[in-house]
Structure 1
Amino acid sequence: MDSGPPVRPLRRHRAFLLLCGEQAASSVGRQVTTLALALLAVDRLNAGPFGAAALMALNYLPGAVLSPFAGVLVDRARLRSLAVLLTVLQVLVVGSVPLAGAMDRLSWLHLYVVATASGALTSTLTVALQAALPRVVRGKQLLTANSALTGARTAGQIGGPALGGVLVGFAGAAPALLAGSVAYGVEAVLLLCLPASLNTPAERKGPSGGSRAAALREGFEVVRAHRLLRRQVLAGAGFNVGSGAADALFVVYATRDLALPAWQLGTVYATFSVATVLGVLLAGRFAATIGLFRATQICALLAAAAIFLIPAASLGFAFPALIAYQLCFGLTGTVWAISMTTTQQLIAPPHLQGRVAGFVQAALMGTVPAGALAGGALASWAGNVPVLTGAAATALLAAGGLWLPQRAGADALPPAAEVLSERGRERR
């Protein structure tokens, strides 16, 4: 992974800068699309809680089901062409909604199809870009590169909802989706400008002999056989069950149980964005200083422990407690996500990057709606605070799995990760 031309600083790396721009444009498009679809469901089609929840779930389910198969496609396809095609299809899918609205033919079936197709395209593109990054930058640069890409996504996540809200307010939800299509169009142009070398398939024939089932087994075997990666996936999946339940109940709990006014709830969410930016800035230095896996262990535990602040807010000082939760969770969760993605990319062989990313994404995405649905069902029976406490305990138990004893050398990382830690020691 570290062979090739001399290392170029990322700020002068054209292909990497294109990926940063793509991440910002994609994030804006996704945020505008999500907000506009939800408002269309509520305002135009009179969606109830179940309809709105189903629309959200359909964005996750394709990734949970299709990501491993997307990984096989990514490893065997012309990666740049595939990424451009996926983004162009996203433009057409999202653009069909304002067209149907203008023709007065908008329906629930149309929104469900759009949500499902958009989710499938997004999850496949995510796998493709995770596989592309190790082919664009050197192994020693992966941690810094993942931090920068997360920062670019965060910028879109901060600006996207605000842009979507303004557009919906002035033009309506359906026309606002045209802005989402434009953002995806910009993304397609940026992807088209990536190096032509990405169009060389990572695996041409490979040991799988062309069988799709055998190819899937190859990717799964990497996740299963490498203890460090397996632990991280299991911890992330269990964590997402707990955090998914907490997220599903958060707004209802904050507004009904805690009676937070709108400005305080908005401030709480803004705090998460600020914390994410801090996490992006600190991730590289923290992981390089103490080691990639140790950073993952510590941040996973702190992110899970932070969830306990949500039910604790019912004891008093609700607003400061939720601010503290978003600050701690956003910061440590961001560092954990960056460290985990970097570890995955360092471990996966070059011709299996797509399949490993696909299996990891399927495990992590599938548990979010599972936790959300379980949390909602249990809260209607037991109440919000007990379920939120149980959700925090579930996340903490999952994160604690990263601290179980391990055999010496069983979780060794490739040399590139050791260089990251060595650079940190030199700084000190």
Structure 2
Amino acid sequence: MASGSPSNASPETGAPAATSLRRHRSFLLLAAEQAASSVGRQVTALALPLLAITELKAGPFGASALMALTYVPGIVLSPYIGVAVDRARLRMMLALLTAFQVLVIGSVPLAFVWDALTWLHLFAVAGVSGALTATISVALQSALPRVIRREQLMAANSVMTGARTAGMIGGPALGGVLIGITDPASALLVECVAYALGVLLFLGLPAALNTPAVADAAGGSRMEALREGLAVLRRETLLHRQAIAAAGLNLGGGASGALFILYATQELALSPWQLGTVYTAYSVAMGVGVLIATPIAKALGLGRTTQWCAAGAAGALFLIPAASLGLAFPILLLYEVLFGLLATVWIIAMTTARQLVTPTHLLGRVNAFLQAVLTSTLPIGALVGGALAAWAGIVPVLIGAAAVALSGAVSLWFPHRLHTQVDRATAAEPSSAPA
């Protein structure tokens, strides 16, 4: 947000102070797109591997490689994605990239009908679609602070998270039904429809979003732009502490998540209905976290909220190995409730604080960097956790994973009274001058 903007209006929309999110047209368009695209992505996450398994006879390595390709391009290209987003006409960028997603995903059922589906095609679709998804995600995080007022960001991020959560809950069920009725290739058309709807929703955003956040978008090299973004990350204590905390939580959480089903079914002997109940508890807790994130942040402040919720989510991971001592089902149920609730609130608070602290013209680069951290550390944690568990056993690795997560979360508590610095920084207008 430019420092010269009036405090009672958004610089992009000029929305009056009385406008609530429920009547904020631009925000409602973004929230609707998030709900639709989330459903579509969940259907694809189920249909694409099934298509590889049933049609191309994929084994464990093939299925894993296909999943990895959806993440790797976004991680590798994240620095350039951030620069592109800061220099782009965001409304046009969002609409064009989403339209391209329709063509990329739609090519799979078309090839299936023509009996021309190959491994190369599926790998290309997974990689290109993953890169597009990563870019759209960074662009959306950078667009939100430009269409609503600062004091609405916490509530807006809660609603956006809720929209994505609804898709994560309903998408797999819808995908399972569609695949049962038709086939995996036809089910991919759901994501095509979702993305087509997204194009229309993005085209309805304010024309002001077509003004690049960086005034001299054509000037300066990409390396200079990257150095400018990294300078902000180094200078702002909150931002580099967020990166450390996110890396620790995802490394530990990735290791625990990769081993969870094996541990719950083989070592704890949980029945299928108990395992299903545990996962349902997590989904419900995420929904509750969306509802209470804003009241908690108002009561504690963004600084305290990020500190306590990150530490609480990491500490909850110790309940997983504790379940081996007895009362496995209720302990794992408690874990899912605590982790789902606290991790959701932490992510919402972390995203909001980052948007408030980062200068508008650098949001793309900062968001892209932190998204790369979040995306890359999860599979690394899963791979390392699986390898160590084969050597040392599951329970010791689960304890170590929880310790890694907690060590990352603890970084948010240093330097002393970081929470007061965060609250002061998020209450002030971020500087729009180059770092």
TM-score bracket for the superposition, by shorter chain length: over 0.9
What is the CA–CA distance in structure 1 between the aligned matches of 2:403 and 2:205, rounded to whole Å? 44
Change in Cα spacing, 1:141 to 1:412, as seen in structure 2 (3 Å) is: same
Equivalent positions of 1:121-132 (< 5 A) are 121-132=132-143
Query: Contact between 1:346 and 1:414, CA under 8 Å: does it hold in 2?
Result: no
Structure-1 residue corresponding to 2:310:
300
Query: Contact between 2:306 and 2:349, CA under 8 Å: does it hold in 1?
Result: yes
Q: C-alpha offsets along residues 48-67 of structure 1, whole Å, 9 cap, x if unaligned? A: 33222222222222222212
Structure-2 residue corresponding to 1:100:
111
TM-score, normalised with respect to structure 1: 0.93
Instruction: Give the unaligned 5+ runs of structure 2.
Output: 430-435
Aligned partner of 2:319 among 291, 309, 321: 309
Aligned partner of 1:330 among 340, 355, 362: 340
Aligned partner of 1:203 among 189, 200, 214: 214
Instruction: Give the unaligned 5+ runs of structure 1.
Output: 420-428
Change in Cα spacing, 1:317 to 1:388, as seen in structure 2 (3 Å) is: same
Structure-1 residue corresponding to 2:72:
61
Change in Cα spacing, 1:240 to 1:416, as seen in structure 2 (3 Å) is: closer
Counterpart of 1:77, as a letter, is A
What is the CA–CA distance in structure 1 between the aligned matches of 2:197 and 2:34, rounded to whole Å? 11
Higher mean alpha-carbon deviation, 53-62 vs 234-243, is at: 53-62
Counterpart of 2:421, as a letter, is D
Deviation at 1:113, TM superposition (A): 1.6
Counterpart of 1:160, as a letter, is G
Counterpart of 1:90, as a letter, is Q
Instruction: Specify the SS of the correspondent of 1:411.
Output: helix
Instruction: Specify the SS of the correspondent of 1:194.
Output: coil
Deviation at 1:222, TM superposition (A): 0.9
| Structure 2 residue 226 is the aligned partner of structure 1 residue 216 | yes
Equivalent positions of 1:339-358 (< 5 A) are 339-358=349-368
Equivalent positions of 1:177-188 (< 5 A) are 177-188=188-199
Structure-2 residue corresponding to 1:425:
none
Q: C-alpha offsets along residues 15-57 of structure 1, whole Å, 9 cap, x if unaligned? A: 0000110110110011001011121222223333322222222
What is the CA–CA distance in structure 2 between the aligned matches of 1:13 and 1:182, rounded to whole Å? 25
Counterpart of 1:164, as a letter, is G
What is the CA–CA distance in structure 2 between the aligned matches of 1:232 and 1:141, rounded to whole Å? 21
Counterpart of 1:132, as a letter, is A
What is the CA–CA distance in structure 2 between the aligned matches of 1:275 and 1:201, rounded to whole Å? 38
Equivalent positions of 1:198-277 (< 5 A) are 198-205=209-216, 209-277=219-287
What is the CA–CA distance in structure 2 between the aligned matches of 1:412 and 1:377, rounded to whole Å? 38
What is the CA–CA distance in structure 1 between the aligned matches of 2:165 and 2:145, rounded to whole Å? 21
Higher mean alpha-carbon deviation, 208-217 vs 322-331, is at: 208-217
Query: Contact between 1:74 and 1:354, CA under 8 Å: does it hold in 2?
Result: yes
Q: What is the aligned length?
A: 418
Counterpart of 1:259, as a letter, is A
Query: Contact between 1:347 and 1:414, CA under 8 Å: does it hold in 2?
Result: no
How large is the RMSD of aligned CA atoms in angstroms? 1.9
Structure-2 residue corresponding to 1:426:
none
Structure-1 residue corresponding to 2:390:
380
